[in-house]
Amino acid sequence: MGTFLFSEIIFGPVSSRRLGVSLGINLLPTDYKFCTFNCVYCECGWTLKSHKKIQLPSQEEVKQQLEIVLKDYALKGKEINSITFAGNGEPTIHPQFAEIIDDTIQLRNQWMPQAKISVLSNASQLNKEKVTSALTRIDQNILKLDAGTEKTFKLINKAQENLTFDKITAYLKSFNGDVIIQTLFLKGEVDGEKFDNTNSEEIEAWLQLLKEIKPVKVMVYSIERDTPSDNLEIIKPDALKKIANKVEKLGFLTEVY
């Protein structure tokens, strides 16, 4: 299907379902996806093994390009709601992620103080203290939780072998509630196995994890863009709202997209 890659370090701004007018930052290669997960629904396509030399933008490149855009928008009186780390894979992989976050905070405060700094992450790098600390310094620490059980996690997210479901959920709990959980709901088939993270078993297990994570917000959504796998089913809005109602009964702010 028609998946795509971001071809620049700074991209957009784009109109985001969750974040409003969002200026994107891609800390990853511009010509292939670089990620610790291989999600069946990823708009950037499959995570393929590559023999290419990994080329990541330097801290200084990111800072310079971000300042150019923020300064231009500020001087023209244009508004940005979110400066968002996303791009072609997992942004926290970048070895200077923490330093780049500090640069971004400084530039945001100077040129676009009303904008929030957001990171969309799969939580796989939270064994690194610098990464965890950096995520506590931003406005919107948005971490993925697409399953309630190990089996479904493996089918949907197809993470690297060292990244178990228990390890990821432990990382999520370590923020003591200072985290936004994003969950993409879908049905489908992968590697000859069917999955459905909206069935009662998955939802109950997922809700139990939310109780333990205690997020400040839960973002519930389904597929909007093309996906690398053809055998996926979009969950309808009414079904998403029913899931959201269950989350709200637990006392968590919930948004449906």
Domain ranges of the chain: 10-256
| CB-CB contact of 233 with 187 (8 Å) | yes
Using N-to-C axis directions, what is the helix angle for 165-173 and 150-157, rounded to 10°? 100
Q: What is the mean pLDDT of the chain?
A: 94
Instruction: Reply yes or no on whether the pLDDT at 147 is more than 80.
Output: yes
What does the alpha-carbon distance between residue 128 and residue 92 come to, in Å, rounded to a whole number?
10
| Alpha helix stretches (DSSP H) within the chain | 59-75, 97-111, 129-135, 150-157, 165-173, 200-213, 237-249
CA dihedral 12, 15, 21, 27 (to 10 degrees): -40
pLDDT per position as a tens digit, 50-96: 667 788 999 999 999 999 999 999 999 999 999 999 999 999 999 99
Read off the pLDDT of residues 227-239 as tens digits, 9 standing for 90 and up: 888 889 999 999 9
More confident residue, 114 or 228: 114
- Read off the pLDDT of residues 172-228 as tens digits, 9 standing for 90 and up: 999 999 999 999 999 999 889 999 999 999 999 999 999 999 999 999 999 988 888
How many helices (H) and strands (E) the chain has is answered by: 7, 11
- pTM for this model (two decimals): 0.93
* Per-residue pLDDT at 1 exceeds 50: no
Beta-strand relationship, 82-85 and 180-184: unpaired
The answer to whether residue 49 scores a pLDDT higher than 80 is no
pLDDT of 3 reads 66
For residue 156, what are the contacts with CB-CB under 8 A and spacing of at least 6? 39, 40, 41, 146, 147, 186, 190, 195, 197
Q: How far apart are the first and last CA of the chain?
A: 22
Q: Is the pLDDT of residue 242 over 70?
A: yes
CATH architecture of 10-256: Alpha-Beta Barrel (3.20)
* pLDDT at position 4 over 80: no
Q: CA-CA distance, 58 to 66, in Å (whole number)? A: 12
pLDDT at res. 46: 87
